Amino acid sequence: MELRQLRYFLAVARTLSFTKAAAELHIAQPPLSRQIANLEAELDVGLVERSPRGVKLTRAGALLVERANEILQKVEQTRREVAAFNDKRRRLFKIGFDLSLLYGRTPRIFRYLRESYAEYDFEYAEVASADQVRAVRDGEIDLALGLTLLVDDQVEQVVIRNEQLMLALAIGHPAFRGRDQPIKLSEVSNETLILYDERASGGPRHPVTRFMELVGFTPANTMTIRGLAAALGLVAAGVGISIVPARALLMRGQDICFAPLAEDGGSSPVVVTIRRGTNGEIVASILAEVDRLTRFDLSSSIRAIF
């Protein structure tokens, strides 16, 4: 089995057409057909079903698509790693992250970068969301993963996800009826609402504040504390309740429960920040990998996110 054959097969599987695949590969169709036939003969199994209407993958072909992608990715990774030993000018790339984003898939992104870009030396630093725009603008870090949107003409920001807001309560709270049972804010209006401050001075309003204004909710009492983890700790202690993003599910202790909100429209952004004009393969790769790893459906059981 040759790498060339795998690349040819993936082109056929992607286009479901020998004619289109041949054009994409810049080769004639007969040699392409022969290579696929040789691959089938070597594996002793049919990979595609040919018909006048086009090409359809067999079950074996569908499996080979998955395995061939893994093989070619591993080959490219190996090439990068070996070639990096020849590069005496290894490049430094500094990434800042909000601490709360370490609960979930951010570590997978860091691992992916280390494995895929051996020619880079990565440095990681905890940078509060409120400080990330300044840190990127001033060149302290090259890229930031955070939670705050700020207008600044020297940086670009990409919202990669909007996380659903949920209600965090202490275990045993009378309003909690089950994790799939929505709670109306009017049911907890007499509680102390614990807000967590993650925005920069002069920045946009906190997403929870915007949401409360949107639905017309005014709690009897509020208190503000720095950071989501601290807010959850006070909820666990029975001090009050909090409206939190979905990633809080990954930070919870045994003394907290979560329920969806009956009111619609509550979300909190997850943001990538880079210097304006920054481009290149590594930035595009980070954005693509972040998008791949953070796809989820909050409507059917919250799954692990950042």
- Ranges of each domain in the chain: 3-84, 91-159+269-293, 162-267
**Per-residue confidence (pLDDT) for residue 202, from 0 to 100:** 42
Helices (H) and strands (E) in the chain, counts: 9, 11
**Per-residue confidence (pLDDT) for residue 49, from 0 to 100:** 92
**Per-residue confidence (pLDDT) for residue 252, from 0 to 100:** 66
**Per-residue confidence (pLDDT) for residue 119, from 0 to 100:** 76
Sign of CA dihedral 227, 230, 232, 235: negative
Domain at 162-267: CATH code? 3.40.190.10
**Per-residue confidence (pLDDT) for residue 300, from 0 to 100:** 34
**Per-residue confidence (pLDDT) for residue 205, from 0 to 100:** 56
CB proximity list for 185: less than 8 A, separation 6 or greater: 167, 212, 215, 217, 261, 262, 263
Q: Which residue has the tokens 């996110």?
A: 305
**Per-residue confidence (pLDDT) for residue 157, from 0 to 100:** 86
List 122's β-bridge partners, or say none. 93
Cα distance between residue 261 and residue 252, in whole Å: 18
Name the CATH topology of 3-84. Answer: Arc Repressor Mutant, subunit A (1.10.10)
pTM, two decimals, is: 0.57
**DSSP state letter for 187:** G
**Per-residue confidence (pLDDT) for residue 63, from 0 to 100:** 94
**Per-residue confidence (pLDDT) for residue 84, from 0 to 100:** 62
Q: Which segments of the chain have a pLDDT < 70? A: 81, 84-90, 103-104, 198-205, 252, 279-280, 291-306
**Per-residue confidence (pLDDT) for residue 295, from 0 to 100:** 55
Q: Which phi and psi angles does 254 have, rounded to 5°?
A: -75, -10
The answer to whether the 91-159+269-293 and 162-267 domains have the same CATH topology is yes
Does the 91-159+269-293 domain belong in CATH 3.30.200.20?
Answer: no
